[in-house]
Amino acid sequence: MFLQMKSITKDFGAVKALDHVSLEVDRSEIHGLLGENGAGKSTLMNILAGTFPPTSGEIYLNGILQENMTTRKSNELGIRFIHQELNLVNDLKVYENLFLGEELRNKYGFLDKKEMINRSAEVFKRMNIDIDPQETVENLDTSRKQLVEIAKALLFESKLIIMDEPTTALTNKEIDNLFVIMRGLKAHGVSIIYISHKMPELFEICDRYTVLRDGKLIARGNFSDIDEKIATELLVGRSIQDENKENDNILGEVILQVQNLSCIPAFSDVSFELRKGEVLAITGLHGDGRGELAEALFGARPISGGRILFRNKPLQLNSINQVMKAGIGMVPRNRKERSIIKDMSILDNLSIAGFVNNRGPFVKKNEELKRFHRNKEAISIRVGSPYDSITSLSGGNQQKVIIARWLEIDSDIYILDNPTQGIDVGAKFEIYKIVHELAKKGKSIIVFSAEFPEIYKVADRCLVMYKGRITAELTRDELTEVEVMYYATGSNMEGVR
């Protein structure tokens, strides 16, 4: 066996993140590590990569005990870690980020810029993507930043690559490219530990699995012996009623009218209506302009034409504050970059949007705490004290805090942009339930999503975008994945540019 982690335990103060967990990975194996948010996946990988030591337990590589693991030592042993959270320095160039801390030098001891740029370009070529090594990281969108993180692990010869949710921001095509590379690495004897909440990905690329729950080892085996339903039950510890949406929302009057909204070059001439009690999904592929549209609706991106009527009156779109005060809330995409306030506690992160609605100058501590406990229950946020720093939460639990933050404000319209990224299957269902309940109460919801199963679970109606335009409107009865893909790829738009 190439890697053996034996009886690993990790305590963070009173929190037992790992409790005698074992993990075994063979050479040339792609191993799926599964578990709910907060189960201990990232913690186990951090221990393997030497980010911090275990409280107890042992790591063996090729049967040899590895003591006092540090990040440097793990790198030297050929272990590479693609972190769940982005770790790039925004003001540095792409190639500088790639070689950060491991700069190449020429024989005179000077930085070998040319070689580093060449090597970077080679990796991107291998990955089948066109990122300029000399671009400043700041100018890349999130999906490209995630690809740079991945490239970092491919630069050097390695024996084991840890991928902690590498695809949360990637498009399907980029995921396909990544899988091609992973299969290539595997053929060359490299082992990969793959963490994801997306079941189809796990079943497609992984050989064996290990399931953690509450910091404990629950099961391990071959993917070929289980199906998605069994995997889900293993990781949540109960069977999940995968109910489909009932077609029972009673729609009220039109509350929002978007008229010929444009934001050149991202999208143009977007028009649609939204009714009270309606859940509207908006979907598309990379480059569809959907993310920009979400921002524009929330007043976070200047528009170049058109208007929005909210309750039949023009909506002032020039400040987020005004939009929120009018009664529109938003869960923005990419928690990693935009949503969490790293220096603040969980409680403050949860309450922050509420400040806007607060009448008096003081935030009411009691109410904050009540809100905290209500949400903790409702979407099972795995957290110790509300006063802990938000960054002590697992990735998915941070996302739950962000969602709770916005759902707590009493808005009339909720804009959810890629709301369940990094969230485990069990909690996803809870969030869909909350969306249904909001709709039943007469709230209107716009969900921007690229995941068909998600759209199918929540939407009354779905708009499909292609290159910045709405190319189709599908009613619930017309909603199938094939239909969505047909319009999302612009198949009905031949000849249109």
Ligand X SMILES: Nc1ncnc2c1ncn2[C@@H]1O[C@H](COP(=O)(O)OP(=O)(O)OP(=O)(O)O)[C@@H](O)[C@H]1O
Q: Which residues bind Mg ion (CB under 5 A)?
A: 42, 84, 394-395
Per DSSP, what are the bridge partners of residue 350? Answer: none
Question: With CB cut-offs between 5 and 8 Å by kind, which of Mg ion, ligand X, none does residue 38 bind?
Answer: ligand X
Alpha carbon distances (Å) from 150 to 134, 179, 270, 317, 425 = 17, 12, 35, 37, 25
Alpha carbon 281 to chain centroid distance? 18
- What kind and span of H or E run contains 95? helix 94-98
| Position 392 contacts ligand X (CB under 6 A) | yes
| Position 490 contacts ligand X (CB under 6 A) | no
| Position 38 contacts ligand X (CB under 6 A) | yes
Gap between the Cα atoms of 351 and 354, Å rounded: 5
Of 8, 23, 29, 42, which lies in the binding site for ligand X, with binding defined by CB under 6 A?
Answer: 42
Interface pattern 6-25 for ligand X (x via CB under 6 A)? ------x--x-x--------
Judged by CB, which is closer to ligand X: 215, or 289?
215
Judged by CB, which is closer to ligand X: 171, or 380?
380
Per DSSP, what are the bridge partners of residue 261? Answer: 270
113: buried, middle or exposed (CB in 10 Å: 19+, 13-18, 0-12)?
middle
- The CB-of-230 to ligand X minimum distance in angstroms stands at 19
φ, ψ for residue 90, nearest 5 deg? -60, -35
Nearest alpha-carbon partner for 452 in 486, 490, 404: 486
Helix/strand number for the chain, H first, E second = 17, 20
Gap between the Cα atoms of 148 and 154, Å rounded: 10
Interface pattern 348-387 for ligand X (x via CB under 6 A)? ----------------------------------x-----
Judged by CB, which is closer to ligand X: 333, or 461?
333
Nearest alpha-carbon partner for 344 in 382, 381, 398: 398
| Position 419 contacts ligand X (CB under 6 A) | no
Of 23, 34, 39, 258, which lies in the binding site for ligand X, with binding defined by CB under 6 A?
Answer: 39
Alpha carbon 433 to chain centroid distance? 20
Nearest alpha-carbon partner for 405 in 352, 333, 345: 352
| Position 394 contacts ligand X (CB under 6 A) | yes
Residue range at the interface with ligand X (CB under 6 A); choices 34-42, 147-155, 266-274, 404-412: 34-42
| Position 41 contacts ligand X (CB under 6 A) | yes
Of 57, 396, 419, 468, which lies in the binding site for ligand X, with binding defined by CB under 6 A?
Answer: 396
Judged by CB, which is closer to ligand X: 41, or 145?
41
| Position 347 contacts ligand X (CB under 6 A) | no
Residue range at the interface with ligand X (CB under 6 A); choices 30-38, 235-243, 359-367, 482-490: 30-38
Nearest alpha-carbon partner for 209 in 224, 197, 222, 227: 222
- The CB-of-180 to Mg ion minimum distance in angstroms stands at 25
- The CB-of-388 to ligand X minimum distance in angstroms stands at 7
Of 395, 419, 468, 490, which lies in the binding site for ligand X, with binding defined by CB under 6 A?
Answer: 395
Nearest alpha-carbon partner for 465 in 316, 305, 319, 263: 263
Q: How many degrees, rounded to 5, is the angle at CA 306 between CA 303 and CA 311?
A: 105
| Position 57 contacts ligand X (CB under 6 A) | no
| Position 40 contacts ligand X (CB under 6 A) | yes
Q: Amino acid identity, residue 318? A: N
| Position 232 contacts ligand X (CB under 6 A) | no
Residue range at the interface with ligand X (CB under 6 A); choices 35-43, 243-251, 438-446, 451-459: 35-43
Q: For residue 475, give the 3-state DSSP assignment.
A: strand
- The CB-of-368 to ligand X minimum distance in angstroms stands at 20
Q: For residue 65, give the 3-state DSSP assignment.
A: strand
Residue range at the interface with ligand X (CB under 6 A); choices 37-45, 152-160, 241-249, 294-302: 37-45
| Position 37 contacts ligand X (CB under 6 A) | yes
| Position 393 contacts ligand X (CB under 6 A) | yes
What is the pairing mode between strands 461-466 and 444-448? Answer: unpaired
Judged by CB, which is closer to ligand X: 336, or 467?
336
Q: How many residues bind ligand X, per CB under 6 A? A: 19
Judged by CB, which is closer to Mg ion: 330, or 431?
431
Of 34, 43, 330, 443, which lies in the binding site for ligand X, with binding defined by CB under 6 A?
Answer: 43
- The CB-of-143 to ligand X minimum distance in angstroms stands at 19
Residue nearest to ligand X (CB): 396
14: buried, middle or exposed (CB in 10 Å: 19+, 13-18, 0-12)?
exposed
Judged by CB, which is closer to ligand X: 37, or 177?
37
φ, ψ for residue 320, nearest 5 deg? -60, -40
Residue nearest to Mg ion (CB): 42
Judged by CB, which is closer to ligand X: 291, or 395?
395
- The CB-of-382 to ligand X minimum distance in angstroms stands at 5
- The CB-of-60 to ligand X minimum distance in angstroms stands at 21
Kindly state the tokens that stand for 382: 């795995």
CA dihedral 83, 86, 92, 93 (to 10 degrees): 80
φ, ψ for residue 389, nearest 5 deg? -70, 145
The Cβ-side half-sphere exposure at 419, using a 13 Å CA radius, reads 32
Question: With CB cut-offs between 5 and 8 Å by kind, which of Mg ion, ligand X, none does residue 136 bind?
Answer: none
- What kind and span of H or E run contains 325? helix 320-326
Widest distance between CA atoms in the chain? 74
Positions that interact with ligand X (CB under 6 A): 12, 15, 17, 35, 37-43, 84, 382, 392-397
